[in-house]
Amino acid sequence: MSKMIIFMMLFLLLSSLATIDEGEGSYCMADCTGYKHKASLYIRTCCNSSNLGQTIRMREGRVKTIMVCPDVRPQACPPLNISDCKSLFENGNNASDVYTVNPDGGTPFEVYCDMETDGGGWTVFQRREDGSVDFYRNWTDYENGFGDLTGEFWLGLSKIHRLTKEGSNTLRVDLGDFEGNETYANYSTFNISDGSTEYILTVGGYSGTAGDSLAYHNGSRFSTRDNENDIWSGGNCAQAATGAWWYKSCYYANLNGRYFNTSIIISQGIRWWIWIPTTLQFSEIKTRRNN
């Protein structure tokens, strides 16, 4: 009888002690950004770079758990020097989605990649589609970016500069009106300067079906309602157009203007004047390296 009692006590003790290693069923699952916690009833901690190979002991109520963090690194991860969506596309990522890029070795950031349009590999930096995001914002917002990468957003002037400051780049603008018509404009030359010069636009080499509404803006500095860099003597273009853009005096394109849910002729709307004078339902601006 006493042997049976001892046996049962040992069985209960061993049943409450779980050792988890890097094999199948590990509570800490590795991915390309580190180690993520896999939900468990028994342990609520996670392996990270500071505790690889160490043993974690946890007690929850009457249950005691031991986990050994695997001292292994994720395998088959993409290279760390992914500079943009073209790099991702060339490495076999052909699904349009949100990815992390690092164009210049600085701080990585997330972008939306269009892997389908005209050969793929486009880094999208603006999208308007439903008016869910207010684009009448200040300089700081336009410099840093705002919105939702899977919906309406502006990536940020500082990031656009980092994406385009090296080499040669193409700009693509996709547009749609409220009648279901679509058009596009391609520019074989595109970059913007840094913040010290208010992100001067350099654009040229137009082709497409939308008409060249950006030629007028080439060489202009970016303006917002609180940082006027246009050359209009009659006032502030960003305030007059309720937007932010590379205004001159004032615009032929105003893709960050106020969103109207109908097609009307009004200076404050989303417009590409050379195509049609009325407000637009959709715009998406993207860039891709030429080399």
CA distances for 31 relative to 34, 76, 265, angstroms: 6, 10, 51
Q: What is the pLDDT of residue 291?
A: 87
pLDDT digits (tens, 9 = 90+) for 139-181: 999 999 999 999 999 999 999 999 999 999 999 999 999 999 9
Angle subtended at Cα 208 by Cα 206 and Cα 209, rounded to the nearest 5 degrees: 130
CATH numbers and ranges of domains, the chain? 2-68 (no CATH), 85-289 (3.90.215.10)
CB atoms within 10 A of CB 235: 11
Round to whole Å and give the CA distance between 232 and 250. Answer: 7
pLDDT digits (tens, 9 = 90+) for 171-216: 999 999 999 999 999 999 999 999 999 999 999 999 999 999 999 9
CB atoms within 10 A of CB 34: 13
CB 195 within 8 A of CB 212: no
- 111 φ, ψ to 5°? -140, 160
Pull the structure tokens for residue 207. Answer: 């082709």
Round to whole Å and give the CA distance between 273 and 147. Answer: 25
Q: What is the pTM of this model?
A: 0.74
- The arithmetic mean of pLDDT across residues 100-115, rounded, is 96
- The arithmetic mean of pLDDT across residues 33-57, rounded, is 51
Give the amino acid at 253: A
